[in-house]
């Protein structure tokens, strides 16, 4: 099962390339270890990275919606248009498209966060702003969504 976790500080070079952390690269499916999909997050000012098989599942859900419905056409157009398959070079670097860098505010450094089936890529200050400030708030959310665990 594909599962990404952890937090990584990454550098972006002047050409917009980033080295995929070795622990992350090692988790990519064997037959798909040289290509990832990168796109805008629909809910946060960050980028989403998927392995090809995981992206296939997401894209299938989106493209299976009724294309003649105004709302689903809007979702398809505005989510899928920024998805880019990017190749990893021999060193494990990939080029982040300029429009995605501009959207995310990422310049020289980024924080990569593993979220199970996907990764998020954040500009460091925006990432810090997105984190919980009070552990009780996180606990309350987890109880509301996951239950008490009893």
Residue 63's pLDDT is 93
Comparing C-alpha atoms, which of 66, 63, 53, 44 is closest to residue 118? 53
Residue 2 counted as domain residue = no
Residue 1 counted as domain residue = no
Interatomic CA distance for residues 94 and 16, integer angstroms? 8
pTM: 0.91
Residue 38 counted as domain residue = yes
Each residue's pLDDT expressed in tens, for the chain with a length of 150 residues: 679 999 999 999 999 999 999 999 999 988 888 999 999 999 999 999 999 999 999 999 999 999 899 999 999 999 999 999 999 999 999 999 999 999 999 999 999 999 999 999 999 999 999 998 889 988 998 999 998 655
Assess contact for 50 and 129: CB atoms under 8 A. Answer: no
Residue 91 counted as domain residue = yes
Structural domains in the chain (count): 1
Q: Give me the domain span that covers residue 40.
A: 7-146
**Token output for 115:** 């979220």
**CATH number of the domain residue 32 falls in:** 3.40.1550.20
Helix (H) or strand (E) holding 134: none
Residue 53's pLDDT is 94
Question: Would you say the C-alpha torsion 54, 59, 60, 65 has a positive or negative sign?
Answer: positive
């Amino acid at each position: 099962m594909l599962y990404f976790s952890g937090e990584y500080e990454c550098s972006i070079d002047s050409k917009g390339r980033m080295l995929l952390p070795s622990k992350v690269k090692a988790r990519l499916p064997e037959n798909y270890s040289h290509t990832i999909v990168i796109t805008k997050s629909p809910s946060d000012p960050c980028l989403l990275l998927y392995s090809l098989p995981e992206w296939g599942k997401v894209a299938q859900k989106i493209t299976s919606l009724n294309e003649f419905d105004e709302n689903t056409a809007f979702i398809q157009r505005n989510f899928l248009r920024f998805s880019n398959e990017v190749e990893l070079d021999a060193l494990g670097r990939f080029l982040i498209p300029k429009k995605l860098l501009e959207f995310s505010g990422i310049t020289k450094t980024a924080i990569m966060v593993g979220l199970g089936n996907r990764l998020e890529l954040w500009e460091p200050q925006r990432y810090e702003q997105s984190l919980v400030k009070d552990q009780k708030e996180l606990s309350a959310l987890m109880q509301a969504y996951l239950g008490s665990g009893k």
